[in-house]
């Protein structure tokens, strides 16, 4: 039976929903989480899917989608309910992001950057060690960020990448935060900064310089730099193969003064998070789980002669098409439960097994999304890759997943191999 959802604040009435990515009964979802996922799917299906082609064509930021996300309360999805948010946990958020990714990859991916500023400073930080006074200060500061998001619709970005080894976790960030009276002076450059020019705050990772000038990963600060602050500039263009709507241009920080209250985490807490809460880096995968499902769904509809915008020509009777769909279904069924399990066990101090599974889930999701899109085009054929249809965009967007640091497909394999064969501290000497 088709479920229907209304979102009055967006003018949506009784949207006949596509089947859920994760069936609430089969995956034993809480009612509240299933309802959130339905709402995300309704927005994606009835609104974002229609706008996605234009954002992609023009490499334009999905500003209208962000207004809708705000109206529906989804900018505050991980903000606690008593502070005006929807109070979703890591898994509930991930499922919603996957649902949105089915219909607009660029919106889901950038929304992830935004949501992480609340997820990491919120439920994730609650799991980390802090002195009581430090925690009290953190709670006071994050309430400021939450208020901006809930009341004003403020959008946060997450520019970490610098082009060197830092975003992969291999070195300290070159972007520096020098302690000054009342805050920090920030200098540096971030590449591939999604939401550049469209976010209100850039959640920047910068290294706080020690008195001797040394840079250490332990001294990483996570600061919300106001986009309008003096010394912030956005340069270069953004004309990539896929995920064009992310507008991931280059950010420059030149002597930018950042107040103490803009800290999204207290000193030392980002390093603690990166080492004790590794699933924080798995949050780029939901978008691509959605894209994997979208490639499969398109193929089934197309071969049945039911894909919107195509003539009602059936191609499902050919055994080669049936085999191809079967192969796609098997790959999707392999990726989905692995991903679901990994997002379900996100927690502080995961076991070695859980960490290896998280890497495997990230690798499988990112690779499967593009693999399914490739198979979809091969199976549906030439007419399916016309730009009037979503499949060729899904194909290009899905190609980006494996490239995202710190858990690129290569780095996941690298870590699985090493950590499976060596216990911490073991060598062959």
Contact indicator for 402, 367 with CB cutoff of 8 Å: yes
What mask of x and - would describe binding to ligand FAD in positions 123 to 142, judged by CB under 6 A?
--------------------
Separation of alpha carbons 31 and 22, rounded Å:
13
Q: Are strands 249-259 and 183-193 parallel, antiparallel or unpaired?
A: antiparallel
Kind and range of the H or E run holding 341 = helix 319-344
Asked if 161 is part of the footprint of ligand FAD (rule: CB under 6 A), the reply reads yes
**In the complex, minimum distance from the CB of residue 132 to ligand FAD, in angstroms, rounded to a whole number:** 32
Stretch that binds ligand FAD, among 49-57, 83-91, 93-101, 399-407 (CB under 6 A): 399-407
368 is written with which tokens? 């499967």
Taking alpha carbons only, the member of 421, 411, 416 closest to residue 170 is 411
Separation of alpha carbons 366 and 339, rounded Å:
11
Q: Is 161 or 379 the residue whose CB approaches ligand FAD more closely?
A: 161
Asked if 219 is part of the footprint of ligand FAD (rule: CB under 6 A), the reply reads no
Contact indicator for 241, 396 with CB cutoff of 8 Å: yes
Q: Is 117 or 384 the residue whose CB approaches ligand FAD more closely?
A: 117
Write down the residue that tokens 């995300």 correspond to: 40
Stretch that binds ligand FAD, among 121-129, 140-148, 360-368, 405-413 (CB under 6 A): 405-413
Asked if 201 is part of the footprint of ligand FAD (rule: CB under 6 A), the reply reads no
Kind and range of the H or E run holding 254 = strand 249-259
Asked if 193 is part of the footprint of ligand FAD (rule: CB under 6 A), the reply reads yes
**In the complex, minimum distance from the CB of residue 156 to ligand FAD, in angstroms, rounded to a whole number:** 11
Contact indicator for 18, 41 with CB cutoff of 8 Å: yes
Taking alpha carbons only, the member of 252, 290, 243, 288 closest to residue 41 is 290
Asked if 173 is part of the footprint of ligand FAD (rule: CB under 6 A), the reply reads no
Stretch that binds ligand FAD, among 161-169, 252-260, 355-363, 379-387 (CB under 6 A): 161-169
Question: Binding ligand FAD by CB under 6 A: which of 159, 266, 278, 286?
Answer: 159
Q: Count residues contacting ligand FAD (CB under 6 A)?
A: 25
Asked if 177 is part of the footprint of ligand FAD (rule: CB under 6 A), the reply reads no
Q: Is 273 or 405 the residue whose CB approaches ligand FAD more closely?
A: 405
Go through 264-279 and write b for each residue having 16 or more CB atoms within 10 A of its CB, e for each that does not.
Answer: bbbebbbbbbbebbbb
Asked if 417 is part of the footprint of ligand FAD (rule: CB under 6 A), the reply reads no
135 is written with which tokens? 């925690």
Distances (CA, A) of 101 to 45, 54, 109: 10, 16, 7
Specify burial of residue 241 (Cβ count, 10 A radius: 0-12, 13-18, 19+).
Answer: exposed
341 is written with which tokens? 């399990």
Asked if 220 is part of the footprint of ligand FAD (rule: CB under 6 A), the reply reads no
Question: Binding ligand FAD by CB under 6 A: which of 126, 410, 420, 422?
Answer: 410
Question: Binding ligand FAD by CB under 6 A: which of 158, 219, 250, 362?
Answer: 158
Separation of alpha carbons 227 and 233, rounded Å:
8
Separation of alpha carbons 319 and 117, rounded Å:
48
The tally of CA atoms less than 13 A away on the side-chain side of residue 35 is 8
Contact indicator for 266, 137 with CB cutoff of 8 Å: yes
Question: Binding ligand FAD by CB under 6 A: which of 136, 313, 403, 420?
Answer: 403
Question: Binding ligand FAD by CB under 6 A: which of 352, 414, 420, 422?
Answer: 414
Question: Binding ligand FAD by CB under 6 A: which of 17, 223, 405, 412?
Answer: 405
Asked if 241 is part of the footprint of ligand FAD (rule: CB under 6 A), the reply reads no
**In the complex, minimum distance from the CB of residue 338 to ligand FAD, in angstroms, rounded to a whole number:** 22
Asked if 400 is part of the footprint of ligand FAD (rule: CB under 6 A), the reply reads yes
Question: Binding ligand FAD by CB under 6 A: which of 119, 404, 407, 415?
Answer: 404
Question: Binding ligand FAD by CB under 6 A: which of 160, 201, 298, 340?
Answer: 160
Q: Is 22 or 201 the residue whose CB approaches ligand FAD more closely?
A: 201
Separation of alpha carbons 82 and 278, rounded Å:
27
Asked if 370 is part of the footprint of ligand FAD (rule: CB under 6 A), the reply reads no
Asked if 376 is part of the footprint of ligand FAD (rule: CB under 6 A), the reply reads no
Contacts with ligand FAD by CB under 6 A lie at: 113, 158-161, 163-165, 167-168, 170, 192-194, 243, 246, 248, 400, 403-405, 408, 410-411, 414
């Amino acid at each position: 039976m088709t479920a229907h959802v209304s979102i009055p604040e967006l003018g949506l009435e009784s949207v006949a929903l596509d089947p859920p990515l994760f069936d609430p009964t089969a995956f034993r979802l809480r009612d509240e989480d299933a309802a959130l996922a339905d709402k995300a799917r309704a927005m994606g299906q009835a609104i974002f899917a229609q706008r996605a082609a234009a954002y992609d064509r023009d490499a334009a930021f999905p500003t209208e989608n962000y207004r809708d996300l705000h109206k529906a309360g989804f900018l505050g999805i991980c903000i606690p309910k008593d502070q005006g948010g929807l109070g979703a946990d890591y898994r509930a958020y991930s499922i919603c992001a996957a649902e949105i990714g089915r219909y607009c990859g660029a919106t889901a991916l950038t929304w992830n950057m935004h949501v992480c500023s609340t997820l990491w400073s919120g439920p994730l930080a609650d799991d980390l060690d802090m002195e009581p006074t430090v925690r009290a200060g953190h709670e006071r500061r994050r309430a400021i960020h939450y208020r901006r998001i809930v009341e004003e619709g403020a959008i946060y970005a997450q520019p970490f990448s610098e082009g060197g080894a830092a975003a992969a976790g291999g070195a300290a960030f070159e972007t520096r935060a020098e302690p000054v009276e009342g805050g920090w002076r920030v200098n540096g450059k971030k590449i591939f900064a999604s939401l550049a020019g469209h976010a209100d705050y850039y959640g920047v990772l910068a290294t706080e310089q020690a008195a001797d000038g040394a840079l250490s990963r332990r001294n990483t600060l996570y600061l919300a730099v106001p986009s309008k602050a003096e010394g912030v500039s956005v340069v270069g263009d953004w004309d990539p193969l896929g995920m064009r709507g992310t507008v991931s241009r280059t950010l420059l920080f030149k002597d930018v003064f950042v107040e103490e209250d803009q800290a999204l985490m207290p000193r030392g807490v980002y390093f603690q998070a990166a080492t004790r809460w590794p699933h924080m880096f798995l949050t780029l995968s939901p978008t691509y789980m959605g894209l994997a499902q979208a490639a499969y769904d398109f193929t089934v509809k197309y071969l049945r002669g039911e894909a919107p915008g195509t003539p009602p020509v059936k191609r499902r009777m050919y055994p080669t098409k049936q085999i191809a769909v079967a192969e796609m279904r098997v790959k999707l069924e392999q990726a989905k439960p692995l991903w679901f399990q990994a997002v379900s066990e996100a927690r502080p101090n995961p076991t070695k097994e859980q960490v290896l599974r998280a890497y495997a889930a990230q690798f499988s999701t990112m690779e499967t999304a593009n693999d399914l899109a490739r198979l979809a085009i091969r199976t549906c054929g030439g007419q399916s890759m016309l730009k009037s249809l979503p499949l060729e965009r899904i194909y290009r967007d899905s190609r980006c997943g494996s490239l995202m640091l710190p858990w690129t497909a290569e780095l996941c394999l690298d870590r699985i191999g090493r950590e499976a064969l060596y216990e911490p501290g073991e060598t062959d000497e």
